Protein backbone atom coordinates (compact mmCIF):
# COMPACT_ATOMS: atom_id res chain seq x y z
CA UNK A 1 0.00 0.00 0.00
CA UNK A 2 1.87 3.04 -1.27
CA UNK A 3 1.32 6.44 0.28
CA UNK A 4 1.94 9.97 -0.88
CA UNK A 5 4.03 11.62 1.84
CA UNK A 6 7.53 12.71 0.83
CA UNK A 7 9.98 10.79 3.01
CA UNK A 8 12.53 13.60 3.34
CA UNK A 9 9.88 16.19 4.15
CA UNK A 10 8.28 13.77 6.63
CA UNK A 11 11.59 13.24 8.45
CA UNK A 12 12.24 16.99 8.48
CA UNK A 13 8.80 17.56 10.02
CA UNK A 14 9.43 14.97 12.75
CA UNK A 15 12.86 16.46 13.56
CA UNK A 16 11.73 20.11 13.46
CA UNK A 17 12.50 21.96 16.70
CA UNK A 18 14.11 18.86 18.10
CA UNK A 19 15.43 19.17 21.67
CA UNK A 20 18.32 17.38 23.40
CA UNK A 21 16.01 14.87 25.05
CA UNK A 22 15.11 13.20 21.76
CA UNK A 23 17.33 10.24 20.81
CA UNK A 24 16.87 8.78 17.34
CA UNK A 25 17.71 5.34 15.94
CA UNK A 26 17.02 5.00 12.21
CA UNK A 27 17.07 1.69 10.36
CA UNK A 28 19.78 0.83 7.88
CA UNK A 29 19.42 2.29 4.40
CA UNK A 30 16.90 4.91 3.42
CA UNK A 31 15.77 6.04 6.87
CA UNK A 32 19.41 6.57 7.87
CA UNK A 33 19.87 8.76 4.75
CA UNK A 34 16.61 10.58 5.57
CA UNK A 35 17.74 11.32 9.11
CA UNK A 36 21.17 12.51 7.96
CA UNK A 37 19.43 14.77 5.42
CA UNK A 38 17.34 16.30 8.21
CA UNK A 39 20.54 17.45 9.93
CA UNK A 40 23.34 15.63 11.68
CA UNK A 41 23.10 15.29 15.46
CA UNK A 42 25.21 13.46 18.03
CA UNK A 43 21.98 11.98 19.38
CA UNK A 44 21.41 10.07 16.13
CA UNK A 45 22.66 6.50 16.09
CA UNK A 46 22.79 5.76 12.37
CA UNK A 47 22.67 2.13 11.33
CA UNK A 48 24.60 0.86 8.32
CA UNK A 49 23.75 -2.78 9.03
CA UNK A 50 22.07 -4.88 11.76
CA UNK A 51 18.91 -5.27 9.68
CA UNK A 52 15.98 -6.13 11.95
CA UNK A 53 17.69 -4.66 15.01
CA UNK A 54 16.60 -1.01 15.09
CA UNK A 55 13.53 -1.44 17.31
CA UNK A 56 15.44 -3.57 19.84
CA UNK A 57 18.30 -1.07 20.00
CA UNK A 58 15.59 1.48 20.71
CA UNK A 59 14.17 -0.67 23.50
CA UNK A 60 17.53 -1.10 25.24
CA UNK A 61 18.13 2.63 24.96
CA UNK A 62 14.65 3.60 26.17
CA UNK A 63 14.96 1.34 29.23
CA UNK A 64 18.41 2.77 30.02
CA UNK A 65 17.33 6.40 29.57
CA UNK A 66 13.79 6.64 30.94
CA UNK A 67 13.93 10.45 31.12
CA UNK A 68 14.75 10.81 27.41
CA UNK A 69 12.43 10.16 24.47
CA UNK A 70 13.56 7.52 21.99
CA UNK A 71 12.35 7.41 18.38
CA UNK A 72 13.12 4.42 16.19
CA UNK A 73 12.41 5.50 12.61
CA UNK A 74 12.86 2.64 10.20
CA UNK A 75 11.61 1.20 6.92
CA UNK A 76 9.01 -1.49 6.33
CA UNK A 77 11.56 -4.08 5.19
CA UNK A 78 13.75 -3.53 8.26
CA UNK A 79 10.72 -3.73 10.59
CA UNK A 80 9.45 -6.90 8.91
CA UNK A 81 12.79 -8.62 9.49
CA UNK A 82 12.54 -7.96 13.23
CA UNK A 83 8.78 -8.14 13.67
CA UNK A 84 9.18 -10.24 16.82
CA UNK A 85 10.64 -7.13 18.44
CA UNK A 86 7.16 -5.61 18.43
CA UNK A 87 5.98 -8.47 20.66
CA UNK A 88 9.03 -8.09 22.91
CA UNK A 89 8.54 -4.32 23.21
CA UNK A 90 4.82 -4.80 23.78
CA UNK A 91 5.64 -6.81 26.90
CA UNK A 92 7.99 -4.12 28.28
CA UNK A 93 5.89 -1.09 27.33
CA UNK A 94 8.41 1.70 27.93
CA UNK A 95 6.47 4.98 27.94
CA UNK A 96 9.34 6.84 26.28
CA UNK A 97 9.61 4.82 23.06
CA UNK A 98 8.12 5.49 19.64
CA UNK A 99 8.55 3.03 16.77
CA UNK A 100 7.83 4.80 13.49
CA UNK A 101 7.85 2.92 10.19
CA UNK A 102 8.32 4.77 6.90
CA UNK A 103 6.30 2.37 4.78
CA UNK A 104 6.45 2.51 1.00
CA UNK A 105 5.76 -1.17 0.46
CA UNK A 106 9.05 -1.77 -1.33
CA UNK A 107 12.71 -2.52 -0.67
CA UNK A 108 13.95 0.78 -2.10
CA UNK A 109 17.60 0.21 -1.29
CA UNK A 110 17.79 -2.96 -3.40
CA UNK A 111 15.81 -1.85 -6.42
CA UNK A 112 12.20 -1.51 -5.37
CA UNK A 113 11.14 -5.12 -4.96
CA UNK A 114 7.73 -5.37 -3.22
CA UNK A 115 7.72 -5.96 0.53
CA UNK A 116 5.11 -7.84 2.56
CA UNK A 117 3.44 -4.57 3.55
CA UNK A 118 3.02 -3.81 -0.13
CA UNK A 119 1.14 -7.07 -0.39
CA UNK A 120 -1.16 -6.19 2.48
CA UNK A 121 0.59 -7.01 5.75
CA UNK A 122 -0.59 -4.35 8.20
CA UNK A 123 2.08 -3.37 10.71
CA UNK A 124 -0.27 -1.02 12.60
CA UNK A 125 -2.55 -3.92 13.44
CA UNK A 126 0.45 -6.06 14.36
CA UNK A 127 1.68 -3.37 16.77
CA UNK A 128 -1.79 -2.97 18.29
CA UNK A 129 -2.05 -6.72 18.86
CA UNK A 130 1.41 -6.66 20.48
CA UNK A 131 0.25 -4.17 23.11
CA UNK A 132 1.38 -0.78 21.82
CA UNK A 133 -0.95 1.68 23.55
CA UNK A 134 -1.08 4.20 20.70
CA UNK A 135 -1.04 3.02 17.08
CA UNK A 136 -1.31 5.58 14.32
CA UNK A 137 -1.83 5.58 10.56
CA UNK A 138 -0.06 8.63 9.21
CA UNK A 139 -1.41 9.25 5.72
CA UNK A 140 -1.38 13.02 5.22
CA UNK A 141 0.25 16.21 6.44
CA UNK A 142 -2.27 16.70 9.25
CA UNK A 143 -1.53 13.19 10.57
CA UNK A 144 2.18 13.93 10.30
CA UNK A 145 1.85 17.16 12.28
CA UNK A 146 -0.03 15.22 14.95
CA UNK A 147 2.73 12.59 15.12
CA UNK A 148 5.42 15.30 15.35
CA UNK A 149 3.55 16.89 18.27
CA UNK A 150 3.23 13.53 20.04
CA UNK A 151 6.95 12.92 19.59
CA UNK A 152 7.67 16.21 21.39
CA UNK A 153 5.58 15.08 24.35
CA UNK A 154 5.80 11.31 24.37
CA UNK A 155 3.90 9.72 27.23
CA UNK A 156 3.24 6.13 26.28
CA UNK A 157 4.47 3.44 23.92
CA UNK A 158 3.68 4.56 20.39
CA UNK A 159 3.72 2.95 16.96
CA UNK A 160 3.14 4.83 13.75
CA UNK A 161 3.09 3.84 10.10
CA UNK A 162 3.96 6.76 7.86
CA UNK A 163 2.66 6.16 4.35
CA UNK A 164 5.45 7.53 2.20
CA UNK A 165 5.66 7.59 -1.56
CA UNK A 166 7.93 5.29 -3.58
CA UNK A 167 10.54 7.92 -4.49
CA UNK A 168 14.20 7.31 -3.61
CA UNK A 169 15.91 10.69 -3.17
CA UNK A 170 19.70 10.96 -3.53
CA UNK A 171 21.57 9.37 -0.63
CA UNK A 172 22.88 11.60 2.14
CA UNK A 173 25.60 9.62 3.83
CA UNK A 174 26.46 10.24 7.50
CA UNK A 175 29.48 9.04 9.47
CA UNK A 176 29.88 5.29 8.97
CA UNK A 177 32.41 4.32 11.64
CA UNK A 178 30.25 2.55 14.21
CA UNK A 179 32.65 3.08 17.10
CA UNK A 180 32.72 6.83 16.38
CA UNK A 181 28.91 6.95 16.25
CA UNK A 182 28.69 5.08 19.54
CA UNK A 183 31.23 7.27 21.32
CA UNK A 184 29.73 10.57 20.23
CA UNK A 185 26.23 9.36 21.16
CA UNK A 186 27.36 8.34 24.65
CA UNK A 187 29.33 11.57 25.08
CA UNK A 188 26.19 13.57 24.21
CA UNK A 189 24.44 11.79 27.09
CA UNK A 190 27.31 12.63 29.43
CA UNK A 191 28.59 9.06 29.52
CA UNK A 192 32.25 8.09 29.41
CA UNK A 193 33.19 7.50 25.77
CA UNK B 1 16.91 -39.85 44.71
CA UNK B 2 16.85 -36.30 45.99
CA UNK B 3 19.08 -33.91 44.09
CA UNK B 4 19.63 -30.45 45.52
CA UNK B 5 19.37 -27.64 42.96
CA UNK B 6 22.68 -26.40 41.59
CA UNK B 7 24.16 -23.28 43.16
CA UNK B 8 26.03 -21.99 40.11
CA UNK B 9 23.01 -20.05 38.77
CA UNK B 10 22.96 -18.12 42.06
CA UNK B 11 26.68 -17.43 41.72
CA UNK B 12 26.01 -16.04 38.23
CA UNK B 13 23.25 -13.88 39.64
CA UNK B 14 25.65 -12.59 42.32
CA UNK B 15 28.13 -11.72 39.56
CA UNK B 16 25.39 -9.83 37.69
CA UNK B 17 24.62 -7.80 40.80
CA UNK B 18 28.28 -7.02 41.47
CA UNK B 19 28.72 -5.96 37.84
CA UNK B 20 25.67 -3.69 37.92
CA UNK B 21 23.83 -5.54 35.15
CA UNK B 22 20.50 -3.75 34.60
CA UNK B 23 19.01 -5.47 31.56
CA UNK B 24 18.91 -9.22 30.97
CA UNK B 25 17.55 -10.56 27.69
CA UNK B 26 16.57 -14.19 27.53
CA UNK B 27 14.72 -16.85 25.61
CA UNK B 28 13.23 -19.29 28.14
CA UNK B 29 15.62 -22.18 28.72
CA UNK B 30 15.69 -25.02 31.24
CA UNK B 31 19.40 -24.60 31.99
CA UNK B 32 18.97 -20.88 32.69
CA UNK B 33 15.61 -21.27 34.48
CA UNK B 34 16.91 -20.48 37.97
CA UNK B 35 18.96 -17.46 36.84
CA UNK B 36 16.02 -16.09 34.81
CA UNK B 37 13.80 -16.48 37.86
CA UNK B 38 16.28 -14.56 40.02
CA UNK B 39 16.58 -11.77 37.43
CA UNK B 40 12.81 -11.48 37.04
CA UNK B 41 12.43 -11.16 40.81
CA UNK B 42 15.05 -8.41 41.16
CA UNK B 43 13.75 -4.84 41.30
CA UNK B 44 16.89 -3.35 39.74
CA UNK B 45 17.11 -5.72 36.80
CA UNK B 46 14.83 -5.51 33.79
CA UNK B 47 14.36 -9.07 32.54
CA UNK B 48 13.39 -8.90 28.87
CA UNK B 49 11.78 -11.99 27.35
CA UNK B 50 12.80 -12.22 23.70
CA UNK B 51 11.18 -13.93 20.75
CA UNK B 52 14.61 -14.74 19.30
CA UNK B 53 18.13 -14.40 20.64
CA UNK B 54 19.30 -11.80 18.11
CA UNK B 55 16.89 -9.35 19.73
CA UNK B 56 19.01 -9.62 22.86
CA UNK B 57 22.16 -8.64 20.97
CA UNK B 58 20.49 -5.45 19.73
CA UNK B 59 19.01 -4.85 23.20
CA UNK B 60 22.50 -4.97 24.73
CA UNK B 61 23.76 -2.46 22.14
CA UNK B 62 20.92 -0.07 22.97
CA UNK B 63 21.49 -0.50 26.69
CA UNK B 64 25.18 0.41 26.32
CA UNK B 65 24.33 3.43 24.17
CA UNK B 66 22.20 4.58 27.08
CA UNK B 67 24.80 3.81 29.74
CA UNK B 68 23.48 0.52 31.11
CA UNK B 69 25.06 -2.91 31.21
CA UNK B 70 23.13 -5.84 29.78
CA UNK B 71 23.54 -9.60 29.61
CA UNK B 72 22.09 -12.18 27.22
CA UNK B 73 21.09 -15.67 28.30
CA UNK B 74 20.63 -18.30 25.65
CA UNK B 75 20.96 -21.93 24.69
CA UNK B 76 23.53 -23.13 22.15
CA UNK B 77 20.89 -23.29 19.41
CA UNK B 78 20.33 -19.55 19.87
CA UNK B 79 23.87 -18.71 18.79
CA UNK B 80 22.97 -19.41 15.18
CA UNK B 81 20.14 -16.89 15.42
CA UNK B 82 22.56 -14.13 16.45
CA UNK B 83 25.30 -14.18 13.87
CA UNK B 84 24.44 -11.21 11.66
CA UNK B 85 23.44 -9.11 14.66
CA UNK B 86 26.84 -9.81 16.22
CA UNK B 87 28.32 -7.73 13.39
CA UNK B 88 26.67 -4.73 15.09
CA UNK B 89 28.80 -5.39 18.17
CA UNK B 90 32.01 -5.73 16.21
CA UNK B 91 31.36 -2.76 13.91
CA UNK B 92 30.66 -0.45 16.85
CA UNK B 93 32.72 -2.17 19.52
CA UNK B 94 29.73 -2.76 21.76
CA UNK B 95 30.15 -5.00 24.79
CA UNK B 96 28.13 -8.21 24.85
CA UNK B 97 28.14 -10.44 27.90
CA UNK B 98 26.43 -13.72 27.07
CA UNK B 99 26.00 -17.00 28.88
CA UNK B 100 25.25 -20.01 26.72
CA UNK B 101 23.87 -23.28 28.06
CA UNK B 102 25.23 -26.07 25.89
CA UNK B 103 23.25 -28.83 24.28
CA UNK B 104 24.37 -31.48 21.87
CA UNK B 105 27.48 -32.56 23.72
CA UNK B 106 27.58 -34.60 26.92
CA UNK B 107 25.08 -37.49 26.84
CA UNK B 108 22.72 -35.65 24.51
CA UNK B 109 19.60 -37.68 23.76
CA UNK B 110 18.31 -35.43 20.97
CA UNK B 111 20.56 -35.64 17.89
CA UNK B 112 18.95 -32.49 16.45
CA UNK B 113 20.82 -30.48 19.10
CA UNK B 114 24.20 -31.64 17.81
CA UNK B 115 24.65 -29.68 14.55
CA UNK B 116 24.42 -26.24 16.23
CA UNK B 117 25.82 -27.24 19.62
CA UNK B 118 28.97 -28.66 18.06
CA UNK B 119 29.83 -25.44 16.20
CA UNK B 120 29.07 -22.82 18.87
CA UNK B 121 32.70 -22.40 19.86
CA UNK B 122 34.20 -21.99 16.36
CA UNK B 123 31.30 -19.81 15.22
CA UNK B 124 31.67 -17.45 18.17
CA UNK B 125 35.42 -17.30 17.62
CA UNK B 126 34.88 -16.45 13.95
CA UNK B 127 32.72 -13.58 15.20
CA UNK B 128 35.80 -12.49 17.21
CA UNK B 129 34.19 -13.27 20.54
CA UNK B 130 36.24 -14.26 23.55
CA UNK B 131 34.99 -17.75 24.41
CA UNK B 132 35.23 -19.16 27.94
CA UNK B 133 33.90 -22.51 29.11
CA UNK B 134 32.74 -23.73 32.52
CA UNK B 135 32.53 -27.47 33.09
CA UNK B 136 32.45 -27.61 36.89
CA UNK B 137 30.37 -25.50 39.32
CA UNK B 138 33.54 -24.08 40.90
CA UNK B 139 34.63 -22.54 37.61
CA UNK B 140 31.44 -20.52 37.06
CA UNK B 141 31.97 -17.55 39.40
CA UNK B 142 35.59 -16.76 38.46
CA UNK B 143 34.83 -17.12 34.75
CA UNK B 144 31.86 -14.80 35.14
CA UNK B 145 34.07 -12.18 36.80
CA UNK B 146 36.60 -12.42 34.00
CA UNK B 147 33.86 -12.21 31.37
CA UNK B 148 32.39 -9.08 32.95
CA UNK B 149 35.76 -7.36 32.98
CA UNK B 150 36.56 -8.29 29.40
CA UNK B 151 33.14 -7.45 27.96
CA UNK B 152 32.71 -4.03 29.53
CA UNK B 153 36.36 -3.11 30.01
CA UNK B 154 37.43 -3.96 26.47
CA UNK B 155 34.03 -3.39 24.82
CA UNK B 156 33.85 -6.75 23.12
CA UNK B 157 31.76 -9.88 22.83
CA UNK B 158 32.44 -12.43 25.56
CA UNK B 159 30.62 -15.76 25.59
CA UNK B 160 30.71 -18.06 28.59
CA UNK B 161 29.72 -21.58 27.57
CA UNK B 162 28.06 -23.57 30.33
CA UNK B 163 28.81 -27.20 29.50
CA UNK B 164 26.05 -29.75 29.34
CA UNK B 165 28.03 -31.67 31.94
CA UNK B 166 27.57 -28.74 34.31
CA UNK B 167 23.87 -28.33 33.61
CA UNK B 168 22.99 -32.00 33.63
CA UNK B 169 21.22 -33.98 30.99
CA UNK B 170 17.61 -33.36 30.13
CA UNK B 171 15.26 -36.01 31.50
CA UNK B 172 13.15 -37.25 28.61
CA UNK B 173 11.15 -40.04 30.18
CA UNK B 174 9.89 -39.63 33.73
CATH topology of domain B8-167: Rossmann fold (3.40.50)
Q: Which of A56, A185, A102 is nearest to B85 (CA)?
A: A56
Q: What CATH number is given to the structural domain containing A164?
A: 3.40.50.970
Q: Nearest by CB to A59, which of B22, B54, B62?
A: B62
Split at pLDDT 50, 70, 90, the class of B5 is confident
- Other Cβ atoms within 10 Å of A114 Cβ, number: 10
Q: Are A73 and A24 in contact (CB under 8 A)?
A: yes
Residue A86 lies in a domain: yes
The average pLDDT across B79-97 equals 98
Residue B139: pLDDT over 70: yes
Of A54, A63, A189, the CB nearest to B23: A63
Residue B161 in this model has a pLDDT that exceeds 80: yes
Sheet (strand B157-162) strand order:
B46-49, B21-26, B69-75, B96-101, B157-162, B130-134
Q: What is the pLDDT of residue B3?
A: 64
B53 shares contact with chain A (CB less than 8 Å): no
- Interface-testing mutation among A22, A23, A24, A64, with chain B (most B C-beta atoms within 10 A): A64
Residues of chain A with pLDDT under 50: none
The pLDDT-based confidence of B106 (bands split at 50, 70, 90) is confident
pLDDT > 80? residue B169: no
Which residue on chain B is closest to A184 by alpha carbon? B65
pLDDT (0 to 100) of residue B172: 67
Structural domain includes residue A42:
yes
pLDDT band at B108 (very low <50, low <70, confident <90, very high): confident
The count of structural domains within chain A is 1
Decide if A193 is inside a domain. no
Interface ipTM above 0.90:
yes
Q: Does residue A28 belong to the interface with chain B, where contact is any CB pair within 8 Å?
A: no
Domain that holds residue A28: 7-188
- pTM score above 0.80: yes
At residue B174, the pLDDT reads 66
Would you list the domain boundaries of chain B? 8-167
- Yes or no, beta carbons of A85 and B70 under 8 Å apart: no
Does A134 map to a domain?
yes
- Asked whether residue A1 is domain-assigned, the answer is no
Amino acid sequence: MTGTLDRRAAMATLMQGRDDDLLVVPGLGSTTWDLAAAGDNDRNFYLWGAMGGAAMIGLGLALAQPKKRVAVITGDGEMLMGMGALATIGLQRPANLAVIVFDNGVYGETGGQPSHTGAGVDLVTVARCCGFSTCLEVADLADLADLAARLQDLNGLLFARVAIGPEEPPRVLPERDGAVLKRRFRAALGLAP
Amino acid sequence: MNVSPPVWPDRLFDAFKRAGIRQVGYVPDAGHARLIERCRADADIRAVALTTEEEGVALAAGAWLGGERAALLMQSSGVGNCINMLSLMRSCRFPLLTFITMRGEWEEFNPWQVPMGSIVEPVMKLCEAEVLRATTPEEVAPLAERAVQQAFGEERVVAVLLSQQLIGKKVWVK
